[in-house]
Structure 1
Amino acid sequence: MSTADVFAILRGLPWTVALTLGAFLAGAVLGMPLVAARQSRILPLRIVAMVLIQIVRGIPPILWLFIIFFGLGMSVFPISPFNAALAGLGLIAAANMAEIYRGALASIHFGQWEASSALNLGRWSTLTDVVAPQAFRVALPSAASYLIGLMKETAVASTIGVSELAFQGNQLSQLTFRGLEVFALVGMFYILLSLPVAWLSRVADSYLQAKVAR
């Protein structure tokens, strides 16, 4: 493949990175109130959060993008392809991150809460100062794995016209009729994007282990 072909594919790189990071950050933030509702002592709130998480996770990502872009975007309010993809993937990320948070919180022994109560710490202080730092370390590997998976899921945004890597690869393959070469290169770019995330996850985990050990 020529250098021009490689650069043609790379035009989609900023969109892939922006969509991945934007959706992940939205999910990381929105997942917090969602897991709080999921863990609430108020039964109706807990049921609503549980049902919402199951619905969001049970519908394929591509269908969510179609619902938002072709459904809401054409009948309720106009929305750009990128914003529709960001909203859809962010919604899915929120549900998945809520489950990651829930699993991390469940891994913390109940004795931590009891010990904090014995020290006369409030529920909020116990959560933020005692439980959350430990839960964060537990959640980190799963969150990093999900981030890598989310990056690969951004390829579905090509179906609604977002000019990310898969979209640019498809455009080039139709022009050159060299689909095998083109998509093999696109796949390599996805792998190269995932390597720094995996490395940073290991570094952060090692740092947190050392901090806990001290």
Structure 2
Amino acid sequence: MPEVISVVLLGLPMTLLVTALAFGMGLIGGIPLMLGLRSRIVPVRLVFRVFVDLVRGVPPLVWLFLLYFGVSFGAVRLDSLSAAVLALGIIASAYLAEIYRGGFATLPVGQSEAAAALGLGRATTFGRVLAPQALRTALPSMTAFLLSLVKDSSLASTIGVADMVFQANLFTRQHTAEGGFTAFFVAAGVYLLVSVPVAIFARRLDTRMQRSRA
């Protein structure tokens, strides 16, 4: 058992790296997508809506395969880590854009009008008045999505990223006669150890937000 645990834990840094990079990409990429979804120009809003719905409608595994096997720059092809981060980052951008949009949708219309009456510009109103309030509203949903992303990062193993699932699968193939399948139970346990604190934090944050609104 100690050997199994040590082998699976070899993939933990890669699991956390893929999750962190994809989530960071989503945090940034979701902002322009959210702005497009909120655009007053109908054609622009429709284009962004179609893009976001397309990204969210295609399974993550398909995006991984498309970027890893189908995207190349001349003779250069994306390596497994880059393809995984890019695919999950694009997906995260689309989901977080919707979460951001939902956060802004909860704000009273009078916020913008009050800011305009005080002589604040649109950029200042957005960055210092609306965005902080929308972010606080969106935080529970963002945390819940992070939890989902931790689990989805396991799909990166299908294109060769040496995460925990990859290491568990490798160990299983090498120790089939010795009950190597237990490596997947160990991987599941580590995922729980990583995910449960995030889930608890998300629930507590959501409860606190609901109390503050009341």
The TM-score, its normalising length taken from structure 2, stands at 0.89
* Aligned-residue CA RMSD (Å): 2.3
Aligned residues: 211
1:43-80, CA deviations, whole angstroms, 9 ceiling, x for partnerless residues? 22111111110111111001001001111149763111
2 CA distance for matches of 1:182 and 1:74? Answer: 37
Amino acid at match of 2:89: G
Determine helix, strand or coil for the equivalent of 1:183: helix
Match of 1:61 in 2: 60
Find the aligned partners of 1:100 and 1:26 in 2 and give their Cα distance. Answer: 15
Tell me the alpha carbon deviations over residues 81-126 of structure 1, each in whole angstroms, 9 at most, x when there is no partner: 0111011000100001100000110011112112222222222222
Name the residue aligned to 2:182: 181
Alpha-carbon distance in 2 for matches of 1:132, 1:125: 10
Instruction: Measure, in 2, the Cα distance between the counterparts of 1:144 and 1:48.
Output: 27
Give SS of 2:71's match: helix
1:164-203 superposed matches below 5 A = 164-177=163-176, 178=179, 180-198=181-199, 201=202
Q: CA deviation at 1:199?
A: 5.2
Shift of the alpha carbon at 1:156? Answer: 0.8
Q: Which residue of structure 2 lines up, in the alignment, with residue 25 of structure 1?
A: 24
Taking a change above 3 Å as real, the CA distance of residues 76 and 135 of structure 1, as seen in their structure-2 partners, is: farther
Q: Could you tell me how far apart the structure 2 residues matched to 1:55 and 1:75 are?
A: 26
SS at match of 2:184: helix
Deviations 1:30-53 (A, max 9, x none): 110111111111222111111110
Unaligned runs of 5+ in 1: none
Q: Distance in 1 between matches of 2:202 and 2:63?
A: 29
Residues 100-119 of structure 1 mapped to structure 2, 5 A cutoff: 100-119=99-118
Please say if 1:152 is aligned against 2:151. Answer: yes
Q: Alignment partner of 1:52: what SS?
A: helix
Name which of structure 1's ranges 200-209 and 189-198 shifts more when overlaid on structure 2: 200-209
Q: Deviation per CA, 1:4-52, whole angstroms, max 9, x where unpaired?
A: 2211111110110000000000011011011111111122211111111
Contact 1:137 1:205 in 2 (8 A): no
Q: Does structure 2 conserve the Cα–Cα contact (< 8 Å) formed by 1:37 and 1:46?
A: yes
Change in Cα spacing, 1:99 to 1:63, as seen in structure 2 (3 Å) is: same
**Inter-partner Cα distance in structure 2 for 1:149 and 1:155:** 11
Offset of residue 144 of structure 1 = 0.5
Answer yes or no: is the 8 Å Cα contact 2:22–2:88 preserved in 1: yes
For residues 4 and 104 of structure 1, what CA distance do their matches in structure 2 show? 46
Query: TM-score if structure 1 supplies the norm length?
Result: 0.89
Distance 2:65 2:74 in 1: 12
- Residues 75-94 of structure 1 aligned to structure 2 (within 5 Å): 77-94=76-93
Q: Give the match for residue 128 of structure 1.
A: 127
Q: Does the Cα contact within 8 Å between 2:140 and 2:205 map onto a contact in 1?
A: no
Number of the residue aligned with 2:3: 4
Stretches of structure 2 lacking an aligned partner (at least 5 in a row):
none
Kindly state the Cα deviation for residue 195 of structure 1 after the two structures are TM-superposed: 3.2
Instruction: Note if contact 2:64-2:87 (Cα within 8 Å) is conserved in structure 1.
Output: yes
